Amino acid sequence: MLIEILVSALVLATVAGAVLTLLQSTTRTAADQRRHSVAYAIAQEDQARLRSMRLSALNRLSESTPLTLDGTTFTVDSTGVFVNNTSGTDSSCAAGNTSADYVKITSKVSWAGIGNRPAPTIQSIVAPSTGSLDPNRGILIVTAKNAAGGTLSGLGLSGSGAGIFTGSTDSTGCAHFADLPAGSYTVTPSGAGLVEKNGNAAGTKGHSTSVTAGGSNTLSLEYDQAATLPVQFQYRVGSTSTFNAATLDAVYPFHSNMTPAKPYWSPSKARVLSISATPIFPFTTPVTVWGGACSANNPGAGAGQASVTLQPGATAAMQTVQLPALEITVSKSGTPTSGAEITVEDDNCVVNGDQYVRKYVSEAQGHQASSSTSTEPEYGVPYSSSYDICASISISGTVRRATANNVSVTSLTSAKSISLNITSSSTSDDCPA
């Protein structure tokens, strides 16, 4: 009898637990349905509020408002977007020249415990009455993509010109600016770490566009997280198989979609062992880089350049490029001398309107170096078919110089040797600055 009582009690407890679980589930479901009903009612109220607003206020409207009812905090997201009837899309981002026909208003209500269920959302349209939009105004559509061709959301946009506007691209990579005065505009994007294909960081360069009266115009942008390309240098010792580290002041990354490409300098344009070129747009195909400040310094395919595919926001592996070797020996009346000022002018590389000049000082053996006391000559120079080389030093109180012009330094298999001997009969003048 005692066993039967215990079994009966166990069965009763099991049934009671199941009933309690069912009651809890029913209660939760009822509460969830109630919150959905309340959220839908809030969305309806928000739609009525949006319909009462002026068209100018609905233009690019994006609001997020918290609202607490019966202990639950709801978030009401309200948006307004001008749409042209030919596209029928939320942002009218398709290229075209038609004006907006109506405003699509959206009310979306969510709360913390909504889970995976879609938030209650109501959309409707507000059709402007005839003449409510100025026919002398128009629409500017901005689309943004990343390096891989995907949509770029959250790109900040600031426009100035015939009018002013601000905004950002939506989840489709689109921003729609309606009811703008017709005329010319400059649109400046913004975004942390973003760079455009020519290496300009977002916020540093504006893009020119225009707005047509009674129509629309589309501005297409490409931005992505900047990549970094580190490069180090070496030169061949004579014609041997030995290579030494070289120093340089600039590298030149190149991609066919750069318009134009540009040099990346070391800090203060000092000659250093390696340079990290950044920011660079992370093209999906390889970027080629060589040592120097100009396109004319490109030695062509081979050890003088490197190619690497960059990743958004990442630093590539260190790349090594070989520089041609230029071995200058400065002598004073036939004896190698230190302290002579040496200039190496690249006739094929123009920087800021002038042929670029690198300056050195001869060391104890008469070779070009960073200083007269340096123990390491700086033989590596960028590839160039024409250098003008000059060395000057004081002899008996008079500065005199020796020169060598149109020197070609293009070989990666052997060094170019130049000897400059300065005597008391040499030209009494300093080297060009």
Q: How many domains does the chain have?
A: 3
Asked whether residue 177 is assigned to any structural domain, the reply reads yes
Asked whether residue 74 is assigned to any structural domain, the reply reads yes
Same-domain pairing of 112 and 160: no
Long-range contacts of 398-406 (CB under 8 A, 24+ apart): 398/428, 399/428, 399/429, 399/430, 400/424, 400/426, 400/427, 400/428, 400/429, 401/426, 401/427, 401/429, 401/430, 401/431, 402/330, 402/426, 402/427, 403/427, 403/431, 406/347
Q: In CATH, what number is assigned to the domain containing residue 234?
A: 2.60.40.1120
Same-domain pairing of 73 and 116: yes
Same-domain pairing of 147 and 180: yes
Sheet with 137-145: strands ordered across: 174-181, 137-145, 216-225, 194-196
Write down the pLDDT at residue 102: 73
Asked whether residue 8 is assigned to any structural domain, the reply reads no
Residues in the chain: 433
Q: In CATH, what number is assigned to the domain containing residue 40?
A: 3.30.1300
Same-domain pairing of 350 and 212: no
By residue range, what is the domain housing residue 367?
A: 226-433
Write down the pLDDT at residue 287: 97
Same-domain pairing of 309 and 425: yes
Q: In CATH, what number is assigned to the domain containing residue 157?
A: 2.60.40.10
Asked whether residue 13 is assigned to any structural domain, the reply reads no
Question: What is the C-alpha separation between 259 and 156, in angstroms, rounded?
Answer: 23
Same-domain pairing of 256 and 403: yes
CA geometry: angle at 354 spanning 353 and 355, to 5°? 135
CA geometry: angle at 309 spanning 272 and 198, to 5°? 70
Write down the pLDDT at residue 84: 59
Both tokens assigned to 19: 């009933």
Both tokens assigned to 393: 């030093």
Question: What is the C-alpha separation between 368 and 227, in angstroms, rounded?
Answer: 35
Same-domain pairing of 350 and 402: yes
Same-domain pairing of 329 and 311: yes
Distances from the Cα of 14 to the Cαs of 5, 6, 9, 22, 59, in angstroms? 14, 12, 9, 12, 60
The DSSP 8-state label assigned to residue 267 in this structure reads G
Asked whether residue 88 is assigned to any structural domain, the reply reads yes
Out of 126, 158, 174, a domain closes at 126
Same-domain pairing of 308 and 401: yes
In the block, tokens 């490197």 appear at 306
Asked whether residue 9 is assigned to any structural domain, the reply reads no
Out of 70, 95, 126, a domain closes at 126
Phi, psi angle pair for 127, to nearest 5°: -90, 120
143-156 pLDDT, tens digit each: 999 999 999 999 99
Question: What is the C-alpha separation between 407 and 418, in angstroms, rounded?
Answer: 9
Of 159, 31, 44, give the one whose Cα is nearest residue 106.
Answer: 44
Of 42, 144, 159, 128, give the one whose Cα is nearest residue 91.
Answer: 144
Same-domain pairing of 101 and 194: no
Write down the pLDDT at residue 206: 95
CA atoms within 13 A on the CB side of 134: 12
In the block, tokens 């009651």 appear at 23
Q: Which residues of the chain have pLDDT under 50?
A: 87-90, 95, 97, 130-131
Q: Does the predicted TM-score (pTM) go above 0.85? A: no
Out of 225, 249, 274, a domain closes at 225
User: DSSP E strands: which ranges in 312-397?
Assistant: 319-323, 326-332, 335-336, 341-351, 354-362, 368-369, 384-395
Same-domain pairing of 48 and 148: no
Sequence-separated (6 or more) residues with CB below 8 Å from residue 307: 286, 287, 288, 289
Of 150, 54, 128, give the one whose Cα is nearest residue 84.
Answer: 128
Asked whether residue 132 is assigned to any structural domain, the reply reads no
Same-domain pairing of 120 and 168: no
Asked whether residue 4 is assigned to any structural domain, the reply reads no
Write down the pLDDT at residue 97: 47
